Structures are given as structure tokens and as C-alpha cells.
Amino acid sequence: MVTEHTAASTRMRAIVQTRYGDAGDLHLDRIDVPEPDVDEVLVRVHAAGLDRGTWHLMTGKPYVMRIAGMGFRGPKDRVPGRDLAGVVEAVGSAVTKFAIGDEVYGIGRGTFAEHAVAPEDKLAHKPARLSFEQAAVVPISAGTALQALTDQGRLEAGQSVLVIGASGGVGSYAVQIAKALGAEVTGVAGTEKLDLVRSLGADHVIDYTHADFADGTRHYDLILDIAGNPGLSRLRRALTPTGTVVLVGGEHGGNLTGGMNRSLRALLLTPFIGQRFAMYVAKERASDLERLAGFLEDGTVVPSLGHTFPLDRVPKAMRLLDSGRVRGKVAVITT
């Protein structure tokens, strides 16, 4: 049961996918506007964000994701997209935090569309100083960075942090959040993206095409490996004797299990060494969005929005994401 609906139509434009594949399998269609459950909110989506998880859900790789409930032969949710920012149009009967007309941001289902539903506990009020496009690229990537630094990384003020993959979606937030939490931050990126990493507030930058972060010059209390390709022994060489590595990315482990094998090896190694490996495990929660909103409102953290695309250009946006040429984040404007 929901409250009175404010949507003018029961149909909407949406990007639809009926089988796993590449960006060519995404197409624009007109479908029914979804109805929120009792604990859900219907959002008129103004903008949606892209992230690597969206790409994995599009391709169905690594295959272990299909066994984990994403849909074995095809995607369980035919409209892709998870990040969103927009305006509440209807609320379920059990929803208490939001009302029709509220501007919100967070994590929903099928956000590459004009409307999407989201659980109440995965939404927060949109920071007033952010545009919808900026807010839409925050939830998953910034939430990942925050949790990797604090939950798994146990970051303390004054520690030294190395962010491998500092110019990407998660990395651009990790640099800023680590600085906000009082760390000394070094960012690793390619030559053409070093200026971006510096602008994010990194104290030091390393150009991976010309230098090795594990050359013994510096040792770090915490390493966030977002790139997902350095060997475990190389990561250990860059750590302090009691330092921690949080494995966030895993794009190089093959189609079957992705980076899971590497993560499992790291976890099995940890009990026998003084250093610690931790695997990032996502927790989608409104409390993180509310904490991030504080950083965003005071300008401590600024979304690094590199590219925007209209809804009908989502296939092009996904190809750009897959190319590795993205600086910061990509938003889809749905209005």
C-alpha cells in the first residue's frame, strides 16, 4: 500500500537489458512505472550514476555473480543502474523518513530510468549544495571508499594511506575522505590523471608508468587497492610491519571468479604474518550517506564528475566506463 501517487503517467522511459552481454545489449524502451513496497520510496530520477558493479551486472561476469543471485541466464533486474538522485513521488505505508517532494540520493533498483524504487534505509536527503548529477555519483563509490577506509581499514588520524587507482570513481573519493579523516595520502595514477589526483588533495602522487609504489622509498599504514592488479608480495613490500591492505578492486581474476581467488589467498595469508589483508564487503546503509552528506555540505568532499550522458546514451557511457579512460565519475541525466 502506498500513499497518493504524484506521477503524471504510469509509463516511463528506461534502459532495458534482457540478456547478459555488452553495451550493445542495452536499449531504450517504454515500460511501466514501478510501484514501491511498504518500506520503499518511488523516486522521480533526475540523475543516475555508473560504477564498475553496474558493468559487471551488465556482462554477468565474473560468473560467480550469477550463482550469487544476480540471475543465472540473464539479469534478474531488466533495468540496470543503482545510484540515483531525484525527488520522492510516492512512499510505502511503512516509510517515515521521507515525504512526497523530498530531494533524495542513494541506492535503488533500475535507476537508468525516469522512475525507480529504493528502500528507505538506502536513501538520505540530498545535500543542498549538490546538483542532482553530482549527488547521483556519490552513493556507491563514496560509500565504498568510506567503508574501506574506516570499517575494513580502521583508519586513524595521522596514518599514511596509499590509494592505488586514485583517479577513478572510488579512488577519487578515497583520497578526499582519507584527508578529511586526518591521513597523509599518496595517490597512484597514470601520467594524464596526476593533476586530477593532486586537485583532490593528495599529499603525494605516484605515476605508475614511471615509478613503483613498492620500491622501498615509503611504507604505508594502510593501502587501498582499488586497481586490483598488484601482486600480494608487492603490496606487502609497501606496507609498514603492522600495516593493512584493503582489497577493493578485482578486475584481473578471469571470467569465473574475478578477483575472488586473489582475495581468498590474501585472507588465508593474514594469520601467518604481522600485516593484515582485508577484503571489502559492501554494506549499503543510510548512515553512511548521512555521514557523507556532512562532508559534502561543507565542501570537504567534492564529487569528481567527469562525464554526463543523456538517458538514451547509456550504451556510450558504459563503453567509456569499460575503456578505463574515465576521470572521476560518470552520470546519466534522466530528465
CATH code, domain with 169: 3.40.50.720
pTM: 0.89
Same-domain pairing of 99 and 164:
no
Q: What is the pLDDT of residues 212-228, one digit of tens each?
A: 999 999 999 999 999 88
Domain that holds residue 18: 11-138+303-333
φ, ψ of residue 108 to 5 degrees: the values are -130, -160
CATH of the domain at 93: 3.90.180.10
Q: Does residue 1 lie within any of the structural domains?
A: no
Q: Is residue 263 one of the residues assigned to a domain?
A: yes
Residue in the block written with cell 574475478: 258
Within a domain: 296: no
Average pLDDT, the chain: 89
Asked whether the beta carbons of 85 and 105 are under 8 A apart, the reply is yes
Distance between terminal CA atoms of the chain? 27
Closest to 291 measured CA to CA, from 279, 300, 304: 300
Buried-state track 10-23, b at ≥16 Cβ within 10 A, e below 16: eebbbbbbeebeeb
Residue 171, pLDDT score: 94
313: in domain: yes
- Over the stretch 249-284, which tens digit does the pLDDT of each residue have? 755 555 444 456 666 766 777 676 888 888 887 788
If asked whether residues 235 and 254 sit together in one domain, one would say: yes
pLDDT tens figures, 2-56 = 554 544 569 999 999 988 888 899 999 999 999 999 999 999 999 999 988 887 7
Task: Note whether residue 184 is domain-resident.
Answer: yes
Can you tell me the mean pLDDT for 158-162?
Answer: 98
Domain count, the chain: 2
Distance between CA atoms of residues 197 and 190, nearest Å: 10
Crossing angle of helices 169-180 and 139-147, rounded to 10°: 50
49 neighbors 55 (Cβ within 8 angstroms): no
Q: Which amino acid is at 276?
A: R
Q: Which amino acid is at 167?
A: S
Same domain, 157 and 252: yes
pLDDT tens column, 187-212:
999 999 999 999 999 999 999 999 99
pLDDT band at residue 119 using 50, 70 and 90 as cut-offs: very high
Q: 236 exposed, middle or buried (CB, 10 Å; 0-12, 13-18, 19+)?
A: buried
Q: Which residues contact 264 (CB under 8 A, 6 or more apart)?
A: none
Please, are residues 118 and 98 in contact by the beta-carbon 8 Å criterion? no
- Closest to 111 measured CA to CA, from 142, 139, 150: 139
Rounded percentage of the chain residues whose pLDDT exceeds 70: 86
Query: Do 64 and 15 share a structural domain?
Result: yes
Spatial separation of the C-alpha atoms in residues 4 and 275, rounded to whole Å: 55
* Domain identity same for 49 and 85: yes
Cis status, amide bond into 241, omega within 30 of 0: no
E strands present in 5-164: 11-16, 27-32, 40-49, 83-91, 103-107, 115-119, 123-125, 160-164
124/103 Cα distance (integer angstroms): 9
Q: Looking at residue 258, what is its pLDDT?
A: 47
